[in-house]
Structure 1
Amino acid sequence: MDLLALADFNLVARHGGFGKASRAAGRPKATLSRRVAELEASLDLRLFERGARVLKLTEEGRALFERTGQLLTELDETAAAIASGGHSPRGRLRISAPLLFSQTAMGKLAAGFALKYPEVRLEVTTEDRSVDMIEEAYDLVIRVNPEPDESLVGRVFLHDRLVVVASPDLTPLTDGSAIPAVVRGLARQGEAWDVTTSKGKLRIAVNPILSLSSLVMVRDAVRMGVGAARLPVSLVSHDLAAGTLVHWGDVEGPDIALWALYPTRRLLSARVSAFLEHLKAAFPKGTPDELAAYVGR
């Protein structure tokens, strides 16, 4: 398979059209169209449905895009890292990271990176909102389950999951009555949590009695016995091991994925490549237990 043609296919798929991909990459639209057609011919597959105004991935095209996009990103990162191997990263590196990750892990990560690369001036800001990387001049952003963005590429470097926990003194009610709960953000009356336990699925009716803006604050309140809460397992694993909190069940729904994102471009700066390698070294497996161990050290 022609890797250059595959890269052009991914470029068109990511941008949703030949015209947009051409403008983003600064390459002729005709060249991209020809390379994708050659890839389709070599695979004997139609990768795009071409309408008068709309270009859509076929089922086969979507599968190819999902399976090769991450691989090509890693190849680009590896090539950039090798190319910059003889030059120590230097200059300013601006990173935006979510609140909880910043509170629990980013300080240690940033300090370790600064010690390793003293010529890089690292600036980290805490933002749960989706920042505009180009307009706000960020080199890299860390986001939780981000929405797809055609202008960004990246990789998952950590996974986590939500669990329902409470003080050992608080027990689930079996008569369907609402239990007191601590929530992050806006409290909603009549809320219920669907959880999976060792005995099967369970729906817990909750009465939000305390609303806080930080998950660290939520955990601290739950430790006091005021109510139950849904929290990332990495944030409470030490409490669960010590018995200061008990596990009521796993929250149903998708796992939490932390992404490192950066603007689409062929050549990453040595600073961004170095920080991506720093994340890999800190979390080689990317599991919740690994994050909990890193935070607890």
Structure 2
Amino acid sequence: MDLLALADFNLVARHGGFGKASRAAGRPKATLSRRVADLEAGLDLRLFERGARALKLTEEGRALFERTAQLLSELDETAAAIASGGHSPRGRLRISAPLLFSQTAMGKLAAGFALKYPEVRLEVTTEDRPVDMIEEAYDLVIRVNPEPDDGLVGRIFLRDRLVVVAGPGLVPQADGAPVPAVVRGAAEPVGAWDITTATGRAKIAVRPVLSLSSLVMVRDAVRTGLGVGRLPISLVSHDLAEGRLVHLGDADAPEIALWALYPTRRLLSARVSAFLDYLKDAFPHGTPDELAAYLRQ
């Protein structure tokens, strides 16, 4: 397979058209069109559907783009490293991270990484949805308790757990009457939270009075004494130590595991490897206490 033709195909696919690719690369449009046509002829496949106004990848073209885009990027990176006489990470690194981790830790992590690796152009976006890494050109995603995906590999770099907390003046009554609660997202009007305390398992009847979309907002609202809340221990450990909140029990909920995920492939880019190592250095043991201490720095 002609690697130059394959590179031109990737250029056109990435920019969504011959004209846009030509302007971006400063290459003649006719040359790009001829190279892609030669590649199609060599493979005996149509890679693009050519309409009057739009150019669209065929199913075969999309599969080829998804399988070769990262490989070509790694080849360019390797060639640049060899030419410069070193192996320092360089180029663009796109990361998707969940909302809470982004709000509390990602800014400081990203800044520290950028200072250590100035030749890497780090781009971080915040979203809780499961992004399509190939389609949306992400190099690495951070996710909480992700569903298994055969196309991704990765590692857990942090663990956390949920606890039920309240302001010092708000303590559940012995008669089991519902207590006001601050929740994330929609909730039933009345319910119960299972908890584990020093004396065993128990239930807290709750009546949601406020629904918020961010756990940082939930914590801030719970601090006012409005209601109880279920929050990660790393987010409230300092408040518990200072007496601003009291610990009512550990929530009966799955462990929170933060994963760093990347597409399955034999060769991992130097940029992704460097960021994974940076996460490991920031959280050597991956415990909630480490994360809490990092947030207080």
Q: Is TM > 0.5 for Structure 1 vs Structure 2?
A: yes
Once residues 155 and 177 of structure 2 are traced to their aligned partners in structure 1, the CA distance between those partners, rounded to angstroms, is 42
Match of 2:124 in 1: 124
Secondary structure (helix, strand or coil) at the match of 2:118 reads coil
Task: Verify: 1:94 aligned to 2:94, yes or no.
Answer: yes
5+ residue gaps, structure 1, are 1-79
Once residues 246 and 207 of structure 1 are traced to their aligned partners in structure 2, the CA distance between those partners, rounded to angstroms, is 19
Write the letter of the residue equivalent to 2:237.
S
Match of 2:236 in 1: 236
Match of 1:69 in 2: none
Once residues 205 and 179 of structure 2 are traced to their aligned partners in structure 1, the CA distance between those partners, rounded to angstroms, is 6
Secondary structure (helix, strand or coil) at the match of 2:211 reads strand
**Following TM superposition, by how much is the alpha carbon of 1:181 offset from its aligned partner in structure 2, in angstroms?**
0.1
Deviations 1:70-122 (Å, cap 9, x if unpaired)?
A: xxxxxxxxxx9xx9994110000000000000000000000000000000000
Deviations 1:50-73 (Å, cap 9, x if unpaired)?
A: xxxxxxxxxxxxxxxxxxxxxxxx
Match of 2:291 in 1: 291
Match of 2:192 in 1: 192
Task: Verify: 1:257 aligned to 2:257, yes or no.
Answer: yes
Once residues 88 and 163 of structure 2 are traced to their aligned partners in structure 1, the CA distance between those partners, rounded to angstroms, is 42
Once residues 102 and 179 of structure 1 are traced to their aligned partners in structure 2, the CA distance between those partners, rounded to angstroms, is 31
| Superposed counterparts of 1:35-184, under 5 Å | 86-184=86-184
Which shifted more, 136-145 or 85-94? 85-94
Match of 2:219 in 1: 219
Structure of larger gyration radius? 2
Root mean square deviation of aligned Cα: 1.5
Once residues 162 and 154 of structure 1 are traced to their aligned partners in structure 2, the CA distance between those partners, rounded to angstroms, is 23
Match of 1:72 in 2: none
Secondary structure (helix, strand or coil) at the match of 2:101 reads helix
Secondary structure (helix, strand or coil) at the match of 1:221 reads helix
Once residues 156 and 189 of structure 1 are traced to their aligned partners in structure 2, the CA distance between those partners, rounded to angstroms, is 35
**Following TM superposition, by how much is the alpha carbon of 1:196 offset from its aligned partner in structure 2, in angstroms?**
0.1
Once residues 228 and 253 of structure 1 are traced to their aligned partners in structure 2, the CA distance between those partners, rounded to angstroms, is 16
Once residues 266 and 169 of structure 1 are traced to their aligned partners in structure 2, the CA distance between those partners, rounded to angstroms, is 56
Write the letter of the residue equivalent to 1:187.
A
Deviations 1:192-219 (Å, cap 9, x if unpaired)?
A: 1000000111111100000000000000
5+ residue gaps, structure 2, are 1-77
Secondary structure (helix, strand or coil) at the match of 2:268 reads coil
TM-score by length of 1: 0.71
**Following TM superposition, by how much is the alpha carbon of 1:254 offset from its aligned partner in structure 2, in angstroms?**
1.7
Secondary structure (helix, strand or coil) at the match of 1:168 reads coil
**Following TM superposition, by how much is the alpha carbon of 1:175 offset from its aligned partner in structure 2, in angstroms?**
1.1
- The percentage of aligned residue pairs carrying the same residue is 78
Once residues 189 and 152 of structure 2 are traced to their aligned partners in structure 1, the CA distance between those partners, rounded to angstroms, is 38
Write the letter of the residue equivalent to 1:293.
A
Once residues 86 and 158 of structure 2 are traced to their aligned partners in structure 1, the CA distance between those partners, rounded to angstroms, is 29
